[in-house]
Amino acid sequence: MLDTRGRQYVQPLINVSADTFLKWGLSANHVTIISFLIGVTSGLFIYFEQTLLALLVLWFSGFLDVVDGTMARKTKPSSFGTVLDVSFDRLVEISVILGLAFAYPDAMWVMLLLSVSIIYCMTIFLTVGAVSEKQGVKSFYYQSGLAERTEGFILFSLMIIFTDHLILIGLIFLAVEIITSLQRLIEAKVILGKHADQ
């Protein structure tokens, strides 16, 4: 939701960053890999109770993850770059969840349920994108929803900061993911159903 509605406000900074990296000779895939390498350390920092560092690397990784997409659009997007981007995003999220799960074993069951909900929500997102491409809706249909990457980062950040309420925040995150999954399923039914009738 915030990704879709708030992008216009940060796009100027994203454009400047993308242009700078391109001038330095970096490609979008280079920045994707750098973003991943930075972001995946968040779980280690969480485990070792380095809260500030965990938050900094997580959000900086998220920023670079947006910049790499702009870089790709300014040059020549590659299908492999999309695969790297989407898969590395999930690994960064997994790093955060594992860091929290091992640092706070009492909350491990919530982290497991949250992982399952994210997997299912992303499965819907990717499947709708793939099916939409085959049916000619768009090259890749991007489903918005209650939980996009920024909302996820906010909720991850709250869990990292307020560890005394980790289970409660994790359950809220779980509920948000379930609602988003339902939103995407309903939207898929409408979009793909309409296209099938044409």
Domain span holding position 42: 2-197
pLDDT mean over 58-76 = 92
Provide the 8-state DSSP code for 45: H
pLDDT mean over 57-69 = 95
Per-residue pLDDT tens over the stretch 121-169: 999 988 888 887 655 444 456 677 787 888 999 999 999 999 999 999 9
Q: Measure Cα distances from 60 to 39, 57, 99 in Å.
A: 8, 5, 18
Instruction: Report the alpha-carbon distance of residue 24 to residue 19 in Å, rounded.
Output: 9
Tokens 């979008």: give the residue. 28
| Counted domains in the chain | 1
Judge contact between 86 and 35, C-beta under 8 A: no
Instruction: Report the alpha-carbon distance of residue 86 to residue 106 in Å, rounded.
Output: 30
Q: How many CB atoms lie within 10 A of CB 20?
A: 12
Q: Measure Cα distances from 165 to 8, 138, 162, 169 in Å.
A: 33, 41, 6, 6
Report the CATH number at residue 94: 1.20.120.1760
Instruction: Report the alpha-carbon distance of residue 22 to residue 5 in Å, rounded.
Output: 26
Q: Phi-psi category of 136—alpha, beta or left, where left has phi over 0 and alpha has psi -120 to 50?
A: left
Residue 192: predicted pLDDT: 80
Residue 133: predicted pLDDT: 64
Q: Is the pLDDT reported for residue 77 higher than 90?
A: no
Q: How many CB atoms lie within 10 A of CB 100?
A: 25
